[in-house]
Structure 1
Amino acid sequence: MKVNPVNLILIVCFISPLILGFINRFNSEDVKEEILDIQKSILLLGTIIFTVSAISKFDLLDIIIEYLRNLSNGISMFFDNYPQISYYGVFLILNYVIYNIFILLISIINSITIDPILNQLQRYSLRKGEVFRGIIGFIFAIPKAIAITIVICIGLNLLTYFKITSEYNNYINTSTIYRTVSEKVINAITNSPFVKEIPRVLNNSLKINVVKVNEGNSKQNSEKEIFSREIIYYNGVTLEEGIKSNKEIDSLAQKLTRFKSSDKEKARVLYSWIGTNIEYDDNKANEILRNNFKVQSGAIPTFESKKGICFDYSCLYVSMARASGLKVRMVVGEGFNGRQWVNHAWNEVYIKEENRWIRVDSTFYKAGNYFDSKRFEKDHRSEKVAGEW
């Protein structure tokens, strides 16, 4: 049986601290240091959660990145060329600073609370013998082992940006340990507290098939001229079928935008309504992954069921934007799901008062601001306009 090397690495990283904890045991010199290491491991996770929460609430990371961009052209060019790496780099630096502040605070608290207890525990363990001290060392090493495993998973996650090999990506995607840590921890770290929606949103739930159709055209001499054309199907429907609207959709769109004075206000209220009222359909995503195109796709079924996947969100946005008198596009490309780049769809809408197209991703609404936002640079790429209306 072939062993997944990613699983093997993670198992070794988890077990090693436990074995060392038992072998080294507790002694009078390092017992406090061992407890402090456990606290540091817990603080590391707490710091990550705190940092992500602060970033989500105050857009702190975007503010810092924008400030750094203005320091020099070199930094700005690096951020433009490597947006993903820059995003993670700034995040890690910010996390490091906050982490050390927390360490300072916990050290002060320890000196007046935990240290006296540790002194007694030290004396008690010495009386009980070597095996007992080893068992305590093993138990206290468990949080450290968990923290190390998570850190290694984050490192493996960052390596996916460099596109090392397809075989590496395959090992990553088939590693049950990595996938578990990624789903439970990494996705919360790399985005916002609401990003638990994103792993579901960014499965490969957009399937594009190009079909060549031969057609005949009669000539005067009764012969037929045969020519072919291509029909593109998105999740089993054509683009025109997907964006097809009805009176209910048109009426709601016009009602929502009736008192909006600018195109940008109209575009934003549609983005907010779709992002708030449409839920991501996990079952449909799984069916699409299995190439089951019997499930209904497009604006109308999404509006009626209040559920859909990225193509459906984008179709509904097109339908509502058209009903509101906005020029709109359907864009297909790739999105990053915390593990790899996968097929994705979103929109662009033309803002007359600014004479430009802006990007809108209502599927990502619950993950943060994806209305004309620089966040697109972090997790969207290879965009191509599928249609414009």
Structure 2
Amino acid sequence: MINGWMTSVSDANIISIALLLVVVFSLLQGWSRGFSSATGRLFGLLGTGLFTIASLVLAIPAAAYLNPYVETWASGISLPDTKLTQWQQIYYTAVSVLSESPLVRFLLLLLISYLLIRMLLGLLSMLLPFPQLRRTKKFKDRKITQVSRMGGAMVGLIIGLMRSLVIVLALFICVGLNPESGFSRYVESSPIYSQSAAAVFEPIVGETVQKKLPILTKTVAAEMNDILRRKYEVIDHEIPQDIIGAAGDIVGQAQDEEKKARLLYDWVGTRVTYDYAKADNYLQNRVWHEQTPQDTFDTRQGVCIDYARLYAVMARSQGLQVRVVTGQGYDGRGGYGAHAWNEVYISDRQAWIPLDPTWASSGDWFNPKDFDETHIRENAL
């Protein structure tokens, strides 16, 4: 075991080096402080750990109790019909998340409950009549003996092992959240980590971490991705009158849903031009210029998400059910890149049909048979 640890350190495994440094640092710290001071530090860490565990245990039922009340409150808040400021957009997006993302809502309540309970327990500990350990000037000036230093070093070693186990636990959870990532494989290549986790944590929570945390990660990721949809729902909630008027003129007297959808597709696809400068600025410099459907309507320029958002608000203004879809689009060179398009619900078909106004200039992409061959659907906003 020791040989494996030394090999890991010699191979410059950062995880192994960090865990060993924590132990060595704590040992030297205990040596310099002496037995009495190091013991006080140990009890302080144990007290902090107990407070943390108690706060977390109490926070779980507190979050579960508050959860339905927060959901009811958030569900009762409606978007106003007036134009929203930036702060109002943030507020209503957050309220929408609290209303319709149960896991994110619970985790947020858990965090808030934990922080409040931890603070209250800390204040309570200061009010309780615990004897305060104070060092007198005589004690501070007293010379630390070698025996005291050796005892302090042993206590420091215990503190170091405790600190290392906390780090191992954090890494164990991270690996469980995304076991197939390169980071997880690197962590597991450390024998110090892998042997510590196998000996201490896997017998207790190993099965739970391996089976349930990846599912939790996917659920949280799905709900976090849904935040983007809610953001655009809030921003695009109020449809400007000039867009409503233009959409009404485009569909004219058409009553058929598919006919309306087709007319709007033709208009957006032929009136808006692709903004290559915006796309290049993002791809090369990672600078994203956010624009609203009103901006796209006024400038007649945008990238795929701008086409899709403008189409969506125009379609909604004419009573159509429409979604903005994000995913991967074929790039014509054998690969795929990030892309956005739309889906419209047609009552007569009882189905959602896909359409891509961004690609309208290169062909007919209104519900073609081979749409799925060039578009990989990931999320609906």
TM-score by length of 1: 0.39
- Report which of the two has the higher share of strand: 1
TM-score by length of 2: 0.40
- Which has the higher Rg, Structure 1 or Structure 2? 2
- Report which of the two has the higher share of helix: 2
